[in-house]
Each structure stands twice: as structure tokens, then as C-alpha cells.
Structure 1
């Protein structure tokens, strides 16, 4: 499972609380935690200050309460706790799986479970609302998906298509057909019109 882990497990940027204007970057790699900072100050004694960097192993970070306090102040307690968990080897392997594999797993869930899973993280929110997932759900729930239905679903989105009731869907299909016919009529009409004089 460790092979699923990328080189960078977590990365975020932030600004220190006011009145400081200093910028910070926190990076958690497989074996170390890196904190970088850039001093932003109008005071002359800080003008020539160079960016700084501090690296610690995961074990050292777990024991370094001073650095933990600094990370907590800059990035918040939730971020601090997440970094401590990563340093202790508590990884969320499910979220790190390749997207096609996650999509395949989601196809076995009920709609209520998909709705709850979408609230777990930004990654799952994106995947649970993806067109690929909802296209599969529509294809699984319908006897047959016609080319017209597919085109309409691509226009309005597969999730919207799934939650549209049958009467509204029939109405939208009629409108879609009419737009297609009107578009073809416009194309034919413009080809039949004579060229303007002078050409």
C-alpha cells in the first residue's frame, strides 16, 4: 500500500495572523516535514532577510511541540492534527487510489451513500459529482440510453439528467429535437440563399 503514496503527502500555504504579513508553506513528504517562510516587512532590519526553511523527520515533528504550536497558529488546529496523523503513519489510502478505481468502487454504492461520501473531502466531492460517475449511474438505471438522451445528458449534465423526472425529461427531449431541427433548417437555408451582388 505504501507504493500508493506520492512523494508529497500534503502541501498548503498560509499567512501568519495579523499584524504579521509573513508567508509560510508547509509540505509533508514521505519521510519529512518541511516548513518554509518568507518575511514580509517594511522595517529596515528585516528588509534583507532571506527566505527560511526547516526540515524535520516525521518522528522529530511529532515530538517538537514548539514547531507544532507554530504550525497550529499559522495553518489552524485541523491542519496540525492532520499533519501529526500523517507523521504517525495514519494515511487515508482510499482517497489516494487512482480515480478510475474509486469510480468503479462508487458504482456499487447506493445514492444515499454517494451523497454522504461527497461530504467527506474535496476529492470525494469532485469524484461524486463527476460526469463519468453519473453517466454510469444513468446507464445502469435505464433500460436503454438513446443517442438523443445521451446528447441531452451531455448538454445539461448527467447528474441533472438523472434527477429530472420522466415528464420533464420528455419535454426537454422534445425541445432538444426542435433545436436540432431548427439548427439544421438554418444551415440548409443559409446554403440555399444566393450570394450578395458583387461577389
Structure 2
């Protein structure tokens, strides 16, 4: 399964905390961790400083507490934890799947599970609240979706349509029909 992973597993850029203005790049490939830095300073002793690069294998990175501290300061503890997990072979395969495949998998989950999954990350929040997913849920839960219902759902949003009370939907459909009839009479 790891063979399906791209060569670059993770990449991010950041600036050291103030007062430093140094710029850093962190790359995690399949075999190594690469930290690059550029000294950006007005101080005369750093004007001739060249960019630097540190490369370590995954095994060496896991044991390097100094590098852990530096990455934690620059990129934060969440990034450090994620990079450490990658180096230990704990990959997030679900997050790497194409969106269409994730949507297909989500169609088999209960609504409570979809709600919990939407809290995992911004990516899953976007997918779990997408009109594509909720359109499928509505179609699965209704006997028949009429063109009129489909039009209303596209205006409201499929998730809102799903959670709207049946009486409210009927009222909104009646109002919609009446508006269309009035527009047709006005055009004639």
C-alpha cells in the first residue's frame, strides 16, 4: 500500500517566530526528512549566510529531539506530530483518496458517522457538507425526487433540504409554484 504514496508525502513552509525573519521549508519524502532554511537578517554577521539544508532518514529523524524542538517552534506541534507519524510509517491513506471515492464511501455511513467525520479535518468537513453527498442521501431516503423538489433542493442546498420538515417543504413548494404561475401570467 505504501508503494501507492507519492514521493513527497508532506511539504510546508514557514517563518521562524519573531524577532527572527528566517524562512524554513520542511519536506518529508518517502525516505527522508529535509529541512531547508534561509537567513533573512539586517544584521551584518548574517548578511553572508548561505541557505542551509539538513537531510535525515526517517529513522534518524524519529530519534533527533533537537530537530523535533526546532520544527515544533517553527511549524507547531501538530505539524511535528504529523511528520513523526509519517516517519514511523503511520500514513493517512483515507485523506489521500480522490474526493469521488471518499464520497462513495461516505454514502454507506450513518448520519451520525458523517457528522463525526466532518469534525476530523477541514477537508472532511467540506466533503461531508457537500451538495453531492447530500443529494445522494436525499435520493436514497426519498421514494422519488421530482424535478420541482430537485429545483428547490438546489436553491436551498441538499443538506438543508434533507433536514427541512416535510410540512415546511410542502409550503415552500406551494410558494414556488405560485411564484412561477405569477411570473408566467406576467409574461403573457
The answer to whether TM tops 0.5 is: yes
Q: Take 2:54 and 2:181, find their aligned partners in 1: how far apart are those partners?
A: 65
Further displaced range: 170-179 or 160-169: 170-179
Number of equivalenced pairs: 188
Q: Secondary structure at the match of 2:85?
A: helix
Q: Secondary structure at the match of 1:10?
A: strand
| Residue 37 of structure 2 corresponds to residue 6 of structure 1 | no
Further displaced range: 8-17 or 138-147: 8-17
Q: Could you tell me how far 1:112 is from its partner in structure 2?
A: 0.6
Change (3 A) 1:66 1:135: same
Q: Secondary structure at the match of 2:21?
A: coil
Q: Secondary structure at the match of 2:143?
A: coil
Given that residues 9 and 28 in structure 1 are in contact (C-alpha distance below 8 angstroms), is that contact kept between their aligned partners in structure 2? yes
Q: Secondary structure at the match of 1:56?
A: strand
How high is the TM-score relative to the length of structure 1? Answer: 0.84
Aligned to 2:31: 31
Q: Take 2:87 and 2:148, find their aligned partners in 1: how far apart are those partners?
A: 52
Aligned to 1:145: 145
Q: Take 1:44 and 1:182, find their aligned partners in 2: how far apart are those partners?
A: 77
Structure 2 residues without counterparts, runs of 5 or longer: none
Q: Secondary structure at the match of 1:126?
A: helix
Q: Could you tell me how far 1:89 is from its partner in structure 2?
A: 0.5
Given that residues 4 and 97 in structure 1 are in contact (C-alpha distance below 8 angstroms), is that contact kept between their aligned partners in structure 2? no
- What is the RMSD computed on CA atoms of the aligned residues? 2.1
Aligned to 1:167: 167
Map 1:39-78 onto structure 2 (within 5 A): 39-78=39-78
Deviations 1:119-147 (A, max 9, x none): 11222112111111111000001111111
Aligned to 1:16: 16
Higher Cα Rg, which structure: 1
Q: Could you tell me how far 1:181 is from its partner in structure 2?
A: 4.3
Q: Could you tell me how far 1:182 is from its partner in structure 2?
A: 4.9
Structure 1 residues without counterparts, runs of 5 or longer: 190-199
